[in-house]
Amino acid sequence: MKNKKNIEFDKLLSRKAPAFRARAELPRAKYDFAIAYPDPQSLPLNDLLDSLSQGLLEEGADLAWYPDVQGYQPLREYVANKLRTERRMQVTAEQVVLGDGSSQHISMIIDMFIDPGDIAITEDFFYSGTLTTLKTAGADIRGVKCDNSGMLPDVLERTIADLVAQKKRPKLIYTIPTFQNPQGWTMSLERRKALVDIASFYEIPIFEDDCYVDLRYEGENVPAIHSLDPTGQVMYVASFSKIIAPGLRMGYFVGPEEIIGRLRMLRKTGGSGVNQFTALAVHRYAISGLDCHVNTINKIQRTRRDAMLAALGETFDPSASWSTPEGGLYLWLKMPKSVDLSSISQEVLSAGVGYQPGTMFSPDGTTGKNYARLCFGYNPADEIGEGIEILANLFTKAGLF
Amino acid sequence: MKNKKNIEFDKLLSRKAPAFRARAELPRAKYDFAIAYPDPQSLPLNDLLDSLSQGLLEEGADLAWYPDVQGYQPLREYVANKLRTERRMQVTAEQVVLGDGSSQHISMIIDMFIDPGDIAITEDFFYSGTLTTLKTAGADIRGVKCDNSGMLPDVLERTIADLVAQKKRPKLIYTIPTFQNPQGWTMSLERRKALVDIASFYEIPIFEDDCYVDLRYEGENVPAIHSLDPTGQVMYVASFSKIIAPGLRMGYFVGPEEIIGRLRMLRKTGGSGVNQFTALAVHRYAISGLDCHVNTINKIQRTRRDAMLAALGETFDPSASWSTPEGGLYLWLKMPKSVDLSSISQEVLSAGVGYQPGTMFSPDGTTGKNYARLCFGYNPADEIGEGIEILANLFTKAGLF
């Protein structure tokens, strides 16, 4: 009965099995403008430890239980209160689901709506994580042209009307309305209202990704799209990754009960609740030191944004332009049309400077060659100056200006 | 353009959207023999806090990065070394993927292999979490009869041969070989070898769930099925939930690169790596105090097992019988054939005693009415005695003996 040949797993996999992904070490540049990190030196490690200590003292024995499928109830209360106060959203803790950062919820929601060939409406350039997840799900992604206030409503409406006329109703509209990733703009209140009206008319759910909203350095807070929606068709996701640390993997989702109930099923079968150890630390920290910490890091990050803007102004040719975001961790660089920033990015990386070319954020993966996202959260201001100068010199040498 | 009627989400969902799950509070009995918890009073909270403190001091700034998609490398090294030493498995850290307990991996692997109607071979009664996940994936579950050494090899072989003759090759064989949940037996070495031979001959992957292996109170350690397999067709999952705490959600998977690569894709799109905050604590604790802690809790849990066995012997009618597990957190109660422990479980719960009836562990959900799983990890020994006595009195009053 022996038959020691290796099994062919490929033939046994389900139709929904994910593709193979090779192991890849992400290269870390000295001047890392590639990834939207918070400042490693500002992480509130001691406060987190104290918060966890307090949480464990008070409720540590509960770690012997399997956690709530929607996540630690007091942290959900905190989130609901924060969203009511800061985002004007009508939310209770029952409508909140905690998860691994925001990306777990983004993945769950996309899988819940998108079958291969289904249409998702997005901004013309948007967060590469969501882009990859949409592509993996087989979505037909339609990016809508944006200006500095968000998606152009007439283009959005025409896009949807054309699709509906072809009996291809989009499954959802995904948007990052605040400090849009990578473009940096914030959607105006008028645009938000127009978006809700269009989505409501065509009965298309909106998926609002508000991951950077707490990192505002100037300008007026704009209410969440969720708060403007009378029909319960907006799903909302945000995270503690950018205001505490990505390594804690703690995000939150808000949505209608019809969707929450399905997330409960996914959490029940796919993880038995949300990390309670981390939730205890995040909760105790959130109710004590978090607001103060956000003020502190926003001051630091504003300085870094200003340093990057100043360095670009001093060293870059006037043929280049860039966004001036009121918050967030990146700006959007635009070079002359003929420039290809994707093909030169490896060479630039060898010189110690990392960035993500615009093609990483476009649905077709080829549009946006002359754009790049430059993040300013990681390096101190003086290093940002150095890195931008290196970039300017390399671009000049390569004849890109 | 206003149209404020509520959206019908149901019509927009994908084919793979999960079912709705109502919010349910799990009733907690005073005598909680229902859930396989570790002892809440023995959780190593202070040591975990110290371990985290050390980890944050040494590597806390790295929390600003997105964690490794397979999880914190030093913890994967620890796991690989543990499995080489204790389970005789040939494993490197590259073959290990960390995750939210074991259930996340169980869910990912089942989704990776099972399309609706696909066949999964299991034990006749097995862990209700995996059972739910298999049912949710639409698996055709074939439970193989077991005795006190595991699945009966001739029944297993006949089951598979019949299916293969009908051109229905099973997609995987799921087994809990050590302190089987809920039956309590440990699969003998001979049975493990026979299982590997059969699986190898028919080229069916084995999915070995070894979640309780560290909780051995007596008897000889039996090598992992993974260690007996020369063809790389065994996938292995285990967890820190039972030896540290479920609330930390930290488990690990070992498998061939073909499968690991697909898990990398899932982790990349569905969570951006594994909770590094928790992994730092678990790692520093694992390399310092964990072995000692396991010795301590095993002594406590052995006492509780013995208390339950003694109480059953003293108070239960001889028409009932039960397993005497060498480890784990539960035993398997068998009542006379005509008894229905599922219909009486709510009444018993009202009297303060929780258990899970056998029907919760059987593929058809109706077989096993006269069985129940009784967990002994949660209550101290004296409370276990009280709870079993209450149970015996209720069963007597209900005429079940």
Q: Is the pLDDT score of B3 beyond 50?
A: no
Q: Is the pLDDT score of B151 beyond 80?
A: yes
B250 burial (CB, 10 Å; 0-12 / 13-18 / 19+) is buried
From chain A, the residues in CB contact with B171 under 8 A are 12, 14
Q: Is the distance from CB of A272 to CB of B269 less than 8 angstroms? A: no
Please choose, from the candidates B376, B397, B393, B401, the residue with its C-alpha nearest in 3D space to the C-alpha of residue B31.
B376
From chain A, the residues in CB contact with B203 under 8 A are 3, 5, 7-8
The per-residue pLDDT for B271 is 60
From chain A, the residues in CB contact with B101 under 8 A are 271-272
Q: How far is A371 from chain B (nearest CA, A)?
A: 24
CA distance A222 to A188: 7
Q: Tell me the pLDDT tens digit for each residue of B182-205.
A: 999 999 999 999 999 999 999 999
Closest Cβ–Cβ partner in B1, B21, B231 for A268: B21
The per-residue pLDDT for A1 is 45
Using DSSP's 3-state secondary structure scheme, residue A52 falls into helix
The per-residue pLDDT for A5 is 60
What integer is the mean pLDDT of B112-132?
Answer: 96
Q: Which residue of A has its CA nearest to B131?
A: A269
Q: Do A113 and B200 touch (CB under 8 A)?
A: no
Interface test with chain B among A5, A70, A100, A104, by most B beta carbons within 10 Å:
A100
- Contacts of A290 by beta carbon, 8 Å cutoff, 6+ apart: A243, A244
A182 preceded by a cis bond (ω within 30 of 0): yes
Which H or E element spans position A254?
Answer: strand A251-254
Q: How far is A168 from chain B (nearest CA, A)?
A: 12
From chain B, the residues in CB contact with A231 under 8 A are 4-7
Q: How far is A195 from chain B (nearest CA, A)?
A: 11
**Ordered alpha helix ranges (H), B210-367:** 257-270, 276-286, 290-315, 345-350
Q: Is the distance from CB of B327 to CB of B178 less than 8 angstroms? A: yes
From chain B, the residues in CB contact with A95 under 8 A are none
Q: Do B113 and A14 touch (CB under 8 A)?
A: yes
From chain A, the residues in CB contact with B23 under 8 A are 70, 94, 261, 264
Please name each of the domains of chain A with its CATH number: 27-44+292-396 (3.90.1150.10), 46-286 (3.40.640.10)
Q: Tell me the pLDDT tens digit for each residue of B233-243.
A: 999 999 999 99
What integer is the mean pLDDT of B325-332?
Answer: 97
Give the number of other Cβ atoms within 10 Å of residue B54's Cβ.
17
From chain B, the residues in CB contact with A67 under 8 A are 246-247, 249
Residues in chain A where the model's pLDDT stays below 70: 1-5, 269-272
Pairing of strands A140-144, A146-147: unpaired
Q: A24 or B130: whose pLDDT is higher?
A: B130
Q: Is the pLDDT score of B2 beyond 60?
A: no
CA distance B33 to B19: 29
Rounded to two decimals, the pTM is 0.94
What count of CB pairs under 8 Å joins A to B?
326
Using DSSP's 3-state secondary structure scheme, residue B15 falls into coil
Q: Which residue of A has its CA nearest to B132?
A: A269
From chain B, the residues in CB contact with A172 under 8 A are 12
Interface test with chain B among A249, A300, A301, by most B beta carbons within 10 Å:
A249
Interface test with chain A among B4, B14, B92, by most A beta carbons within 10 Å:
B14
- Contacts of A305 by beta carbon, 8 Å cutoff, 6+ apart: A217, A325, A331, A376
Q: Tell me the backbone φ, ψ of residue A353, rounded to 5 degrees.
A: -120, 125
From chain B, the residues in CB contact with A6 under 8 A are 231-233
Q: Do A40 and B108 touch (CB under 8 A)?
A: no
Interface test with chain A among B49, B268, B277, by most A beta carbons within 10 Å:
B277
Tokens of B313: 């012997």
Q: Do B112 and A231 touch (CB under 8 A)?
A: no
Q: Do B64 and A276 touch (CB under 8 A)?
A: no
How many residues are listed for chain B in this entry?
401
R_g of chain A computed on alpha carbons: 22
Q: How far is A227 from chain B (nearest CA, A)?
A: 14
Please choose, from the candidates A37, A96, A108, the residue with its C-alpha nearest in 3D space to the C-alpha of residue A71.
A96
From chain B, the residues in CB contact with A273 under 8 A are 249
Q: How far is B28 from chain A (nearest CA, A)?
A: 10
Q: Is the distance from CB of B283 to CB of B74 less than 8 angstroms? A: yes
Q: Is the distance from CB of A153 to CB of A213 less than 8 angstroms? A: no
Give the pLDDT band of residue B18 (cuts 50, 70, 90).
confident
From chain B, the residues in CB contact with A281 under 8 A are 277
Q: Which residue of A has its CA nearest to B281?
A: A277
The per-residue pLDDT for B68 is 87
Torsion of CA A292, A298, A304, A310, to 10 degrees: -130
Q: How far is A217 from chain B (nearest CA, A)?
A: 20
Closest Cβ–Cβ partner in A247, A271, A276 for B63: A247
Closest Cβ–Cβ partner in B7, B248, B256 for A277: B248
* Ramachandran sector of residue A134 (left: φ over 0; alpha: ψ -120 to 50; beta: rest): alpha
Greatest Cα pair distance in chain B: 75
Q: Which residue of B has its CA nearest to A202?
A: B3
Angle of helix A103-113 versus helix A128-136 axis, rounded to 10: 30
